[in-house]
Amino acid sequence: MKLDTSSSPFIHSGANITGMMLRVCLALVPAIIAYTWFFGWGLCINIFIAVSTAVAAEALMLRIRQRPLKPFLSDGSAVVTGLLLAFCLPPFSPWWITVMGAAFAIVVAKQLYGGLGYNPFNPAMVGYVMLLISFPLEMTQWVPPNIVNQLQIGFIDTLKIIFFGEYPYTLSIDALSMATPLDTVKTELGLNVTVSEIVQGNAIFGDFAGVGWEWVGNWILLGGVWLIYKRIIGWQIPLALMGSLFTIAFFFFMLDPDTYPSPMFHLFGGATLLAAFFIATDPVSASTTPFGRILYGAGIGILIYVIRTWGSYPDGVAFAVLLMNMAAPTIDYYTQPRVYGHSKDEPHGGEH
């Protein structure tokens, strides 16, 4: 009789990269619907442009690097990169902005480093930061939710804006765009206006942060919690990120509520929740050890607050994530967990 031996793991959950990436996309669907509801069709069109560019760039680079196309294209990582990038862009960005960002993310930040698993930086954030520092004008043309300006721009009109720069009803982007809540707070605080006056004087502020934005935030939160429940992402990074941001924002808010917005504003404003659940949790560029993930997430939360409050950009999520990406290898090095059977004094498994 012949006994086959096989090594562990014996029970496999069937998880693979494609399934993971698919679930990440699924978790974003409610937020995408909410965003479309409040801000119009721009996001959906941007997602289409970004995802197709990202996949095309991935295929092109794989061909140049002489790697097999099918396994790497079907893992869906390029789709997620495109999706996340599109989510970070202003909804009426011209098409070439989205194309450049997605192509840069895949070609430079991912494939030049060796493809999935080798990129030290989050590709979507590299693409976003490239756009932010290269095209400051286009990247700040945010629009308010349509319940604020009472403007419903249809699908065809949105297509015209994105592809040809033609605005309906003799509008222009200057009439359409408006400062985001974070932007407003930053500008008006500089004019010695108190936070409560800013929030009362502007229609774009809702209960916690911006009208519309906070609802999108709720759905992102829900999708993120589902991802944690499904064990696609760990709880450490989102919790540490939100916890540290909340703590530091709470401290300064208590110190002087007139100059420092409330912690809830920081949590639901800007891209905090998207970063906490979908961007910072990128398994490749984030820290990998359990305690390291807590440090990594907390670092991002603190940096977001520091950049928003004392930096020159209204939101600092992308920069915070990239800075902590740089720190991730060092964090991993110092937070190696004790290997079973070895004492704490022998780092990295010790001698055998």
Partner 1 sequence: MNPENADILKEGLWRNNTALVQLLGLCPLLAVSGTVVNALGLGIATTLVMAGSNVTVSLIRNLVRPELRIPSFVLVIASFVTAVELLMQAFLYDLYLVLGIFIPLIVTNCVIIARAESFASKNNVGRSLLDGLAMGLGFTAVLLLLGAIREILGHGTLFSQAELMFGDGAQWLTITLLDDYRGFLLAILPPGAFLGLGLLIALKNVIDRRQAQRATQAVAIPAQPDAAG
Contact footprint for partner 1 (CB under 8 A): 108, 130, 133-137
Q: Which is nearer to partner 1, 104 or 268 (CB)?
A: 104
Q: What's the rounded Cα separation, in Å, for the pair 293 and 317?
A: 17
Residue 107 or 274 with smaller CB distance to partner 1: 107
Q: What values do phi and psi take at 281, rounded to 5?
A: -90, 5
Shortest reach from residue 300's CB to partner 1, in Å = 21
Between 15 and 64, whose beta carbon lies closer to partner 1? 64
Q: How far is the CB of 190 from partner 1 (least distance, A)?
A: 23
CA distance 273 to 253: 20
Give the 3-state secondary structure of residue 210: strand
> Judged by CB, which is closer to partner 1: 150, or 172?
172
**Maximal CA-CA distance, the chain:** 85
User: Between residues 107 and 216, which has the closer beta carbon with respect to partner 1?
Assistant: 107
Q: What DSSP state is assigned to residue 205?
A: B
Distance CA 91, CA 46 (A): 7
For the bound state, the minimum distance from the C-beta of residue 131 to partner 1, rounded and expressed in Å, comes to 9
Cα 124 to its chain centre, rounded Å, is 8
Which residue, 37 or 113, is less far from partner 1 as judged by CB? 113
Q: Shortest Cβ distance from residue 123 to partner 1 (Å)? A: 15
In the complex, the smallest distance separating the C-beta of residue 201 from partner 1, rounded to whole angstroms, is 33
Residue 129: helix, strand or coil by DSSP? helix
Size of the chain in residues? 352
CB of 126 to partner 1, least distance (A): 10
Shortest CB 111 distance to partner 1, Å: 13
DSSP 279-293: ITT-TTTS--SHHHH
Instruction: List the helix and strand counts (H, then E) for the chain.
Output: 17, 0
Closest CA to 225 of 64, 23, 52: 23
Q: How far apart are CA 172 and CA 317, in angstroms?
A: 29
- Closest CB to partner 1 among 166 and 256? 166
